[in-house]
Amino acid sequence: MNWLNRLFRPDTRNTPQTRHDVHRAAAALLLEVARTDGKVDARERQRLLAAINRHWKLDDQEMEDILGELEQRVEQATDLFEFTLPLRDSWGPEQRVTLIEEMWAMAAADGNADPYEEQLIRRVSELLHVSHGDFIRAKLQSSS
């Protein structure tokens, strides 16, 4: 069974996820931000790979291998809850804020954080129980 099935299938929700699985869920959320404007440009792709390597230790080759799988899963997702539940259950507040910071950085990677990206990040922030103050700080940090 692949990691996406373990993470997202309803009959496996109570199955413990590995740290790697949860990190991939975070990568899926970053990819969703990059895709919000309809395309993932080279700067966004580079930013995604850099964030994954820095925070969640998925190497470039592994990331390349799972990007297609992530894109397919993100296309099929009906709700962000699927991605955020494993993160909320597994991560502490600092890790969740770090993800929001990375999402803002991803939104700004192409030079323009549009309103749809902000709406997505706001929704993820709420689902992860990140405070509004931390959400705003992360937004301001990405614009400086």
81-132 pLDDT, tens digit each: 878 988 999 999 999 999 999 999 999 887 778 899 999 999 999 999 999 9
| Residues in the chain, total | 144
Look at residue 56 in the predicted model and tell me its pLDDT: 72
Look at residue 11 in the predicted model and tell me its pLDDT: 47
Alpha helices in 78-131 (DSSP H): 81-90, 93-108, 115-127
pLDDT at 5 over 90: no
Domains of the chain, by residue range, sit at: 3-8+16-143
pTM of the model: 0.79
The span from the CA of 72 to the CA of 54, in Å, is 24
Look at residue 1 in the predicted model and tell me its pLDDT: 33
Look at residue 114 in the predicted model and tell me its pLDDT: 86
The span from the CA of 19 to the CA of 112, in Å, is 32
In terms of CATH, what superfamily is 3-8+16-143?
Answer: TerB-like (1.10.3680.10)
Asked if 6 contacts 12 with a C-beta cutoff of 8 angstroms, the reply is yes
CB atoms < 10 A from the CB of 90, how many? Answer: 17
Q: Tokens 């192409």, residue?
A: 110
pLDDT at 24 over 50: yes
Look at residue 100 in the predicted model and tell me its pLDDT: 96
